[in-house]
Amino acid sequence: MAFQAKKLINDPNDVVTEFIEGLVETYPGLQYLDGFPQVKVVLRADVSGATYNKVAVISGGGSGHEPAHAGFVGEGMLTAAICGDVFASPSVDSILAGIRAVTGPMGALLIVKNYTGDRLNFGLAAEEAKSEGYKVEIVIVGDDCALPPPRGIAGRRGLAGTILVHKVAGAAAAAGLSLVDVAAEARRASEMIGTMGVALTVCTQPGQVTSDRLGPGKMELGLGIHGEPGAAVVDLQSVDVVVSHVLKQILSPVWTSSWTLEETNYVPITRGNRVVLMINGLGATPAMELMIAAGKAVPRLQLEHGLAVDRVYTGSFVTSLNMAGFSISVMKADQAILQRLDAATKAPYWPVGVDGL
């Protein structure tokens, strides 16, 4: 039976605006752009496009995934985040306003998750910005490993691995690299990541009724971060079984087509490689359960897949409102990527306690 979801909010139409207000009150290094709340852009308080002498790294998308993306604005990571309404791409005008606000002579890199609305609106804003004289590059992130090729009309979805791309690009920009080089590092990082999610419940948007699509004793493999259907609904399993399945899905070869019998890998990871692991809570998963998953994933990566795990990031980075579950991201690492991940940042939600050895 459907029922109205319980949420600690005011007007459901104001949740994004009020989230941004609370965020900038909590973190003085962040501010929102003029035109708020119609234009919902969070940016570094110390950056002005007219004088900024480094590449601006900009991302964003629909809200409901907090702390992504605004929680990762800060020196060494994102310069600005463009916030759409819940699960809705931000408008072209908002994206363009963000580009104008923080982009100096070094240009801007837009990091966009692979969803049709985001690709369309960020792409249109980028073209308009270029016509105004700004230097702009776009990197599309599609790290989803849940669905087999051809992986839908739009291709692989952008998931939690996007945050690792933010970090690599932000560190490269902070080091003073050119726009071409920052974009190249971000693009290379995006090609090294595979992610798959598992959900125990679907999410409920503010003001909407709770869905009962996932009944008692059921879980969904590969559920999208907007509640899109995944690869399969199965009986609830132990975390050992879930972690094992997800890692195999990310790391095992897949058929590119049924008639050519060609195999490929979602990510270019083979035995002996070094990797980074991210355990990402989807919004309603206790830290205890996330840490249990991390503790089971590391030895499986080491013993079953023959990988050296160099870094582990565990927490809630890209959520889906109140969805219970987690995603696992595995990223091929080398010294250059580790250097970017270890670089200092003031982004409030990056896990600064994870350091290299």
Rounded (10°) CA dihedral 231, 224, 246, 66: -170
Please give the Cα distance from 328 to 189 (Å, whole number): 16
| CB-based contact 275:164 (threshold 8 Å) | no
Which residue type is seen at 162? T
Q: How far from the centroid of its chain's Cα atoms is residue 151's Cα?
A: 18
What single DSSP character describes residue 157? P
| CB-based contact 329:159 (threshold 8 Å) | yes
Classify strands 30-32 and 263-265 as parallel, antiparallel or unpaired. unpaired
Active site residues: 226
Q: Using alpha carbons, select from 300, 187, 318, 293 the residue that is nearest to residue 252.
A: 300
Please give the Cα distance from 219 to 201 (Å, whole number): 7
| CB-based contact 337:192 (threshold 8 Å) | yes
> Which H or E element spans position 327?
strand 325-333
